[in-house]
Structure 1
């Protein structure tokens, strides 16, 4: 092909890569697995990139009956966690010729209006956080492939699920604090009707019941710093001894706890230990730095997108929860530690 004379074609890509045009079509149409070797597929991708080849997506999509567009439904973007989920999902989508439209539910959680004149005509599928599940009644109906994030697999008949192992993360927090010697606990629980928060509450109560002499109080709170501050102050005003450890459902809630404790002249971790969940940038910005459960948001988004691609190809998505890790920092210590 004379450089600059015409747009490169699939035949040009095939010649440069040393493969057939059929192989080029399979690779660039993401249908090559089991039919073209990984080495040949890589040569095709490299040749297409070097030549600046762009397939005629409009014609291909019309032929396949696909829009190559996926909707990611999340709560209102009030933390960086869901930005990470989007980044991971968009990365995998781009590798397969898909685009991702991000749709934060306008009220954070709850019903939302359909942003499309006809979602089934505009989208190939939906990935949705269980925290924004109510928005699906307007957006999805029953007509689109669906992958649910952080959602009860038993309750999502007909939908694939991708979950973080948040139950294990909760057990890791409880075991860490119990090993330090804590026995009086306050659970600052996000006041959101979501499966992931129900799992956290259940696992925490179950684990603590196995150790004699423990007590657990639960303080529901809005998922905000101010909500956590108010809930913590109310819990500290309640009759009885103060907790020696406060377990928060979210790092942002932990920031509210920090403010409440300092208003009371209580020190972290000398008087009270504090833990969070997510390991967003805020966790390391707090003083002392926050002990928290690290959730890999980008991997979460990647797995969600891979699961949807599998559903679209009539394959079974990979099974198994995504592992999580406890990151121990300066906000936890034995009760009464100097």
Structure 2
């Protein structure tokens, strides 16, 4: 816009399009469907573009009592998965004129401290990924809308819950290993009190129990490579027949399992097959490359943000878990004859 020119108003757009100001407000606010025709909406958008019209978001936000800012809380920023969640959430937020503040909880899945003097004054809503159901009381307040990601729908404090179909991912892993002929399986479980890891354990146990003659044992480890290495070495050094396959709760645990197997003089997959869950970049850095379940972190963030925007608009969010799928690579094979 040249200096000294007058900024076009919604009345100018209405006159150019031959519609009312109310119609302009509906179209440019994205709430026109079912209230004005598609042709009218197109005329309004064309007129706004030709005039160089931009809505006064500051005045609109003040009128609506909104900051157009949401908070995304994640357990940590030490894995690319949560970076993907943020990327997807921020993309959708930007398309709707919202900003996203990213906040890693200092206590991981534990209670998150409120980073604002008043969250309700600074935020429109909260999107919380992989957090315990009671971890966000300080952030949410009594009125702040909350959508939970990777959380128990039955026990969630959120107005909506968005989940990946983790249980199906674990069933895909179990079916793959059982189909290869594995009957002695070790579950390298994340030593974290979290709904998502409980789901993995239950799904694996149920699938393995359905096949006669199959033995499932468990070793727990913190979500760190060295802890996973130590737990795997201990588990595989126990007396009795050695497991022929390891099911790891995530790719980082699988990397620790690789180190343990090499220290014990065992080969992947000749002596022991290994699977992960996440499909991080780490999965293809390992040798052999890791069989794992791919979780679409960006889609997860997108769906979560769509759900939060629906809650803010008073609409019902879409339901249904996000599908996941197994990526078979070189870390799994039939058990050796020995």
TM-score by structure 1 length? 0.92
CA gap 1:221/1:138 in 2 versus in 1, 3 angstroms = same
Identify unmatched segments of 5+ residues in structure 2.
none
For 1:266, the equivalent position in structure 2 comes to: 266
Q: Spell out the pairing of 1:7-26 with structure 2 (5 A cutoff).
A: 7-11=7-11, 13=13, 20-26=20-26
1:266, distance to aligned residue in structure 2 (A): 1.1
For 2:166, the equivalent position in structure 1 comes to: 166
Distance 2:241 2:45 in 1: 65
The answer as to whether partners of 1:112 and 1:134 remain within 8 angstroms in 2 is no
For 2:256, the equivalent position in structure 1 comes to: 256
- Cα distance per residue 1:33-60 (max 9 Å; x no partner): 3324566656656765676543222211
1:13, distance to aligned residue in structure 2 (A): 4.8
The answer as to whether partners of 1:70 and 1:125 remain within 8 angstroms in 2 is yes
Q: Spell out the pairing of 1:306-317 with structure 2 (5 A cutoff).
A: 306-317=306-317
The answer as to whether partners of 1:75 and 1:132 remain within 8 angstroms in 2 is no
CA gap 1:8/1:200 in 2 versus in 1, 3 angstroms = same
The answer as to whether partners of 2:147 and 2:158 remain within 8 angstroms in 1 is no
Local SS of the residue matching 1:131? coil
The answer as to whether partners of 1:254 and 1:274 remain within 8 angstroms in 2 is yes
For 2:56, the equivalent position in structure 1 comes to: 56
1:261, distance to aligned residue in structure 2 (A): 1.0
1:132, distance to aligned residue in structure 2 (A): 5.1
For 2:143, the equivalent position in structure 1 comes to: 143
The alignment covers a number of residue pairs equal to 338
> Which structure 1 residue ranges, 4+ long, deviate > 6 Å from structure 2?
1-4, 15-18
For 1:115, the equivalent position in structure 2 comes to: 115
1:95, distance to aligned residue in structure 2 (A): 1.2
For 1:297, the equivalent position in structure 2 comes to: 297
Distance 1:259 1:35 in 2: 62
User: For the aligned residues, what is the CA RMSD?
Assistant: 2.4
1:83, distance to aligned residue in structure 2 (A): 0.8
Distance 1:285 1:240 in 2: 32
Local SS of the residue matching 2:277? strand
Distance 1:183 1:218 in 2: 14
CA gap 1:171/1:29 in 2 versus in 1, 3 angstroms = same
1:193, distance to aligned residue in structure 2 (A): 1.1
For 2:190, the equivalent position in structure 1 comes to: 190
The answer as to whether partners of 1:278 and 1:292 remain within 8 angstroms in 2 is yes
- Cα distance per residue 1:163-191 (max 9 Å; x no partner): 11111111100000000000111111111
Distance 1:246 1:42 in 2: 57
For 1:181, the equivalent position in structure 2 comes to: 181
CA gap 1:57/1:190 in 2 versus in 1, 3 angstroms = same
- Cα distance per residue 1:300-320 (max 9 Å; x no partner): 111111111111111111111
1:142, distance to aligned residue in structure 2 (A): 2.7
For 1:332, the equivalent position in structure 2 comes to: 332
CA gap 1:111/1:157 in 2 versus in 1, 3 angstroms = closer
CA gap 1:67/1:222 in 2 versus in 1, 3 angstroms = same
Local SS of the residue matching 1:155? coil
CA gap 1:195/1:48 in 2 versus in 1, 3 angstroms = farther
The answer to whether 1:72 aligns with 2:67 is: no
The answer as to whether partners of 1:82 and 1:297 remain within 8 angstroms in 2 is yes
Identify unmatched segments of 5+ residues in structure 1.
none
1:10, distance to aligned residue in structure 2 (A): 3.2
The answer as to whether partners of 2:73 and 2:127 remain within 8 angstroms in 1 is yes
TM-score by structure 2 length? 0.92
